[in-house]
Amino acid sequence: MNYTEIKTALLNDGYKDTPELDKTIRRLLFLDGEAKEMLHAWISYGIFPSFIYQGIDSNTLHISLGMKAPAIILAFYMLQIQPKSKELYLRLLKRNIEYKLQINR
């Protein structure tokens, strides 16, 4: 996958063409392993990313936090590769989900 393919997929998914989009694309270009496979499956076949990690799952991120596929893939990648900061990130995701659930009650 290259920059143009990723950008086209993100624009088709409703992202706006902004400097933030460029940053997101550059982050996605550096993915590897399972996260890169998820991105390829989403762009090539429309397969929404799916994972469960210590009580956090992709469906909850999508429904509760409104995260789109690229953001979910980046979240998955961060949870896997950032050993020092992943616990903080995991707590932040859980707190955001709990907050959204409380608001929606």
List per-residue pLDDT tens for the chain, 105 residues long: 899 999 999 999 999 999 999 999 999 999 999 999 999 999 999 999 999 987 788 998 898 888 999 999 998 998 887 655 666 666 677 777 776 666 666
DSSP letter assigned to residue 56: E
The two structure tokens encoding residue 101: 């659930």
What distance in Å separates the CA atoms of residue 65 and residue 42, rounded to the nearest whole number? 19
Map tokens 């400097």 to a residue.
19
- State how far Cα 97 lies from the chain centre: 15
User: pLDDT at position 99, please?
Assistant: 67
pLDDT of 31 reads 94
Name residue 57's beta-bridge partners. Answer: 52
pTM over 0.85: no
Q: Which pair of structure tokens corresponds to residue 69?
A: 């596929």
